[in-house]
Structure 1
């Protein structure tokens, strides 16, 4: 993993590639604990996110935010964009892995790097938001130890979809 710098700035978003939607999670809150079941769609489909329109150069040497890039040789195959949030979590603004590198531990490596950055920055853990219909991402976050902390059914209602926002948290046990 390489921290963002002027030399690799052009590699931002190269790993932002389409992904498959195979189903969704159905979160439920009982006694203050979130659980979920899975609904597998009869037919999957491909989804892609537009590149965020951020000033990525502002992340260079900023103690409150950073970006790490993963490489295979000279090819950028993953990225994670982080910032310190007001609630003492390091918020993952974006994480993506190139299609050719999925399932090979790149995402896990990016999360591990984010955990280390959060610890070094005095944060209490990591937080992120994804959609309930991004089942593969939800499975990945759960596998990494994240738990659901909230669900927002209104965040995406002004768009032509039925997505809900799911907020995932990974508490840093060293900073408790």
Structure 2
């Protein structure tokens, strides 16, 4: 069956309940900046483990107030979800706040299709590209964003201070239209 990308509305808002699924943690993207720009290298972990993010409990009214959501559907079943915010920063980028794909549907181009489907909606709101954030320790996500045409535009080393994830980083990604 074909996958169809649709905006989340009152008709299909049950898609916002797509549960978070485990993903593999198997390495870190190490980011540095020199006078020639941003550079990165991968550091694979000795051990692989799975992590699952907490559920978000999305409400359509809040999603629509900040931006919009897109779902990837196989028939009536939502198999992937992306949420976007128009005014994340003062910049001209549409912020990808969340992206998740059911495990059996991963690595089929669905996440990239969701990002591509957001482009005309972003342009209609005078946005010039997409931006998002990935944890440095989520090598799979970092690989995806780099392969999807994003470039590194920043590194935050303080977000996880005083937490159980101290030492982790946030990598800021940008993709221009």
CA contact 1:89–1:125 (8 Å) conserved in 2: yes
Change (3 A) 1:15 1:113: farther
Q: How many residue pairs are counted as aligned between the two chains?
A: 170
The correspondence for 1:2, drawn from 6, 9, 30, is 6
Q: Distance in 1 between matches of 2:56 and 2:19?
A: 13
Change (3 A) 1:117 1:98: same
SS, match of residue 158 in structure 2: coil
CA contact 1:6–1:57 (8 Å) conserved in 2: no
Structure 2, unaligned runs of 5 or more: none
The answer on 1:95 being equivalent to 2:99 is: yes
CA contact 1:90–1:127 (8 Å) conserved in 2: yes
Structure 1 stretches (4+) deviating beyond 4 angstroms? Answer: none
RMSD of aligned residue pairs (Cα, Å): 1.5
**Hey, what does 2:139 align to over in structure 1?**
135
Change (3 A) 1:56 1:157: farther
SS, match of residue 149 in structure 1: strand
Report the TM-score, using the length of structure 1 for normalisation. 0.90
The answer on 1:126 being equivalent to 2:130 is: yes
CA contact 1:15–1:77 (8 Å) conserved in 2: no
The answer on 1:116 being equivalent to 2:140 is: no
Task: Report deviation, 1:158.
Answer: 2.3
